[in-house]
Amino acid sequence: MSDNGLAVLEDINGDRKRSHVESTQHQSLALNSITRCIINPLLEVYRHWQSCARLRTHSKVTILDCHNLKEFSVTKAYAN
């Protein structure tokens, strides 16, 4: 059977099930969202922190997550 162009399966009781392909696509989209929302900003913050550590300067950095902003200071003690 087809449902709006997506593969849908029915078991012997008539219950509709998502196909493996559709389920995998949803998992992939969720992982891409996590990567864009959390991992990429964390990598940017880490790169900034690395450059501050090399310069031995005090820096305030912001870690982004999807719902709020958290701030903390990276000091020379953390850089050593």
Going by DSSP bridges, is the β-strand pair 59-64/16-18 parallel, antiparallel, or unpaired? unpaired
Beta-bridged to residue 16, according to DSSP, are 10
For residue range 17-75, list pLDDT tens digits in order.
544 445 555 556 665 665 566 666 667 777 777 777 776 665 555 555 555 445 445 55
> Does the predicted TM-score (pTM) go above 0.85?
no
